[in-house]
C-alpha cells in the first residue's frame, strides 16, 4: 500500500509549515520541445546547487540529454515488449507503462526517501524538486490507467504541478492555438491537478500574441477574422470567406474557455537560451501553494471516501459469508444439542440450546475477529482484496 504521508524537508515555509518537495510533471504534444525543456530546467536547478530528482517515463526515447535517477528504460525493454506482444509503437508505450506501474510503490518509496532527511548522512540535502518526463504520445499517458495511477500516486505524496508544453510557432494560428487550449483544458479536468501552460520556443516566435488571446477576447476575434479572410480554414479560392463553420466553432470555444484561462499560470520560455526559466519556477512555487490550499483537501476527501467504500464492501462481504455459515451450521448444531441432552438428563434441553447459541455466537465473533485481523495484516500486499471465502478455505485446511 502506498504511503500517504507527505514527504517533507527540514526547511520551512513562511507560514511555519515544513517545506515539501514539489513534483513537476512535463506533458506536451510530440515535437513541443518537452525533452529539451526538461534538460533546461534540470541544468537550471543544478546551477543553483539544488539538483532535482529526475524520473523518465518515456520508454521509447533513444537518447536523453539529461541523466535520470529513475528511468523506465532500466526496468522495461520497449522493443522487446513490442515483439513479445505483437504491438505497435503506441501499444508498446502503453504496455511498458502498465508493466512499470506494477512497481509504483517502489518508485514512490524511492522518491519519499530522497525527499526526506537521511539520518545516516546528514550532509546530504533532501531534494526540493522532482522532475517527471512523460511520453510524447500524450494520450498514451494522460488517458491510460497506468498514467492515472502514476499521477495519483505522486500527488498522494508530493505537491504536484503539471507543466503543459506548447510549441509556440505552431500555435500562431487560431485553430492550432485553440486545439492546444482544449487539450490543456481536458488534461486539467482529467487529472484535477494545478497546471502551468509553458509557451516554448520563444526564441523562434514571441508568445505575446498567445497571452493576449488568452486575456483579450476582442484580440482573438480580430485574429480569427484575419484567418478567415486569408482562407486559413479552407473555402473557395479567392473568396476570402473561409469556412464559416470553423470560424463559428472557434468563436464559441473562445467564449467557453474564458473561465478556464483564469485557473492557469502562463509563462513563455526558450529551452534553447534559457529565458523565462526563473519565471517558470516562480509559477511552480505559486501552484504548489495552490495545491496545498485547494487541491490537497479534495484529494484527501476522495481518498477517505474511497477507503470508506472499500471498508463497507468488506463488511458487506463478511456479513454475507457469516449469514451463509450460520444457515449451513444450523442442522449440525441442533443435532449435537440433542445428543448432549440424551447423554446428560440432569441438564435440561433449553440450557443446551442456550449454550449452543452462545458457543455459535462466540465462534462467529472469533472467526470475524480473526478475519479482520488477517485482512489488516494483508493490507500492504496485492492480496488485500482477497475474498472471505478464500480466507475461510485456508483456515479449514490448516
- Region of 131 on the Ramachandran plot (φ > 0 left; ψ -120 to 50 alpha; else beta): beta
Superfamily name and number for 22-229+256-292: P-loop containing nucleotide triphosphate hydrolases (3.40.50.300)
The residue extents of the domains of the chain are 22-229+256-292
**Contact status, residue 173 vs residue 227, Cβ threshold 8 Å:** yes
Residue 146: predicted pLDDT: 92
First-to-last alpha carbon distance for the chain, in angstroms, is 28
Rounded Cα–Cα distance for residues 24 and 247 (Å): 36
Rounded Cα–Cα distance for residues 24 and 348 (Å): 75
Residue 381: predicted pLDDT: 45
When computed from its CA atoms, the radius of gyration of the chain, rounded to whole angstroms, is 30
Residue 239: predicted pLDDT: 45
The single residue listed with the C-alpha cell 441432552 is 341
Three-state SS at 55: strand
DSSP 184: H
Q: 96 φ, ψ to 5°? A: -60, -40
Three-state SS at 58: coil
DSSP 182: H
Residue 231: predicted pLDDT: 66
Residue 367: in which H helix or E strand, if any? helix 349-377
Residue 6: predicted pLDDT: 37
pTM exceeding 0.85: no
CA dist 51 → 71, 133, 354 (Å): 17, 16, 72
Residue 332: predicted pLDDT: 45
Residue-by-residue pLDDT tens, the chain, 398 positions: 333 333 333 445 444 455 789 999 999 988 899 999 999 999 999 999 999 999 999 999 888 899 999 999 999 999 999 999 999 998 999 999 999 999 999 999 999 999 998 888 888 889 999 999 999 888 889 999 999 999 999 998 999 999 999 999 999 989 899 989 999 989 998 998 999 999 999 999 999 999 999 988 888 889 888 888 776 666 554 444 445 677 788 888 888 887 788 878 899 999 999 999 999 999 999 999 999 888 888 777 877 888 888 888 888 888 888 777 765 554 444 433 443 334 444 444 444 444 454 455 555 556 566 656 655 555 544 344 444 445 555 555 55
Rounded Cα–Cα distance for residues 216 and 391 (Å): 63
- Which cell numbers in the block locate residue 314? 468488506
Rounded Cα–Cα distance for residues 34 and 53 (Å): 17
Burial of 179 (0-12, 13-18, 19+ CB in 10 A): middle
Residue 327: predicted pLDDT: 56
Amino acid at each position: 500500500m502506498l504511503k500517504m504521508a507527505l514527504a517533507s524537508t527540514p526547511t520551512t515555509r513562511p507560514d511555519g509549515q515544513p517545506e515539501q518537495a514539489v513534483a513537476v510533471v512535463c506533458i506536451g504534444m510530440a515535437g513541443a520541445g518537452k525533452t529539451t525543456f526538461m534538460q533546461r530546467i534540470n541544468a537550471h536547478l543544478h546551477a543553483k546547487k539544488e539538483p532535482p530528482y529526475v524520473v523518465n517515463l518515456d520508454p521509447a526515447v533513444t537518447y536523453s540529454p539529461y541523466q535520470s535517477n529513475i528511468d523506465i528504460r532500466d526496468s522495461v525493454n520497449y522493443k522487446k515488449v513490442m515483439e513479445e506482444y505483437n504491438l505497435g509503437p503506441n501499444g508498446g508505450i502503453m504496455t511498458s507503462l502498465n508493466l512499470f506501474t506494477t512497481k509504483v510503490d517502489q518508485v514512490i518509496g524511492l522518491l519519499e526517501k530522497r525527499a526526506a532527511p537521511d539520518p545516516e548522512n546528514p550532509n546530504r540535502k533532501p531534494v526540493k524538486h522532482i522532475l517527471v518526463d512523460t511520453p510524447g504520445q500524450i494520450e498514451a499517458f494522460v488517458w491510460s490507467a497506468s498514467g492515472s495511477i502514476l499521477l495519483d500516486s505522486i500527488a498522494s505524496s508530493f505537491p504536484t504541478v503539471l507543466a503543459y508544453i506548447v510549441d509556440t510557432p505552431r500555435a500562431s494560428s487560431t485553430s492550432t492555438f485553440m486545439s492546444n487550449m482544449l487539450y490543456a483544458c481536458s488534461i486539467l479536468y482529467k487529472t484535477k491537478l494545478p497546471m502551468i501552460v509553458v509557451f516554448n520556443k520563444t526564441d523562434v516566435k514571441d508568445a505575446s500574441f498567445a497571452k493576449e488571446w488568452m486575456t483579450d477576447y476582442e484580440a482573438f476575434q480580430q485574429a480569427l477574422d484575419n484567418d478567415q479572410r486569408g482562407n486559413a480554414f479552407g473555402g473557395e479560392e479567392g473568396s476570402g470567406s473561409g469556412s464559416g463553420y470553423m470560424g463559428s466553432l472557434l468563436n464559441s470555444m473562445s467564449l467557453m474557455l474564458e473561465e478556464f484561462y483564469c485557473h492557469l499560470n502562463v509563462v513563455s520560455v526558450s529551452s534553447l537560451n534559457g529565458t523565462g526559466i526563473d519565471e517558470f519556477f516562480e509559477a511552480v512555487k505559486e501552484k504548489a501553494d495552490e495545491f496545498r490550499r485547494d487541491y490537497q483537501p479534495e484529494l484527501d476527501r476522495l481518498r477517505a471516501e474511497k477507503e470508506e467504500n472499500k471498508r463497507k464492501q468488506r463488511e458487506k462481504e463478511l456479513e454475507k459469508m457469516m449469514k451463509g455459515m450460520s444457515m449451513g451450521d444450523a442442522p449440525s448444531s441442533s443435532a449435537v444439542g440433542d445428543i448432549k441432552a440424551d447423554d446428560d438428563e440432569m441438564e435440561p434441553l433449553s440450557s443446551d440450546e442456550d449454550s449452543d447459541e452462545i458457543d455459535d455466537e462466540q465462534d462467529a465473533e472469533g472467526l470475524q475477529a480473526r478475519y479482520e485481523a488477517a485482512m489488516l495484516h494483508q493490507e500492504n500486499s496485492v492480496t488485500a482484496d482477497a475474498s472471505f471465502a478464500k480466507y475461510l478455505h485456508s483456515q479449514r485446511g490448516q
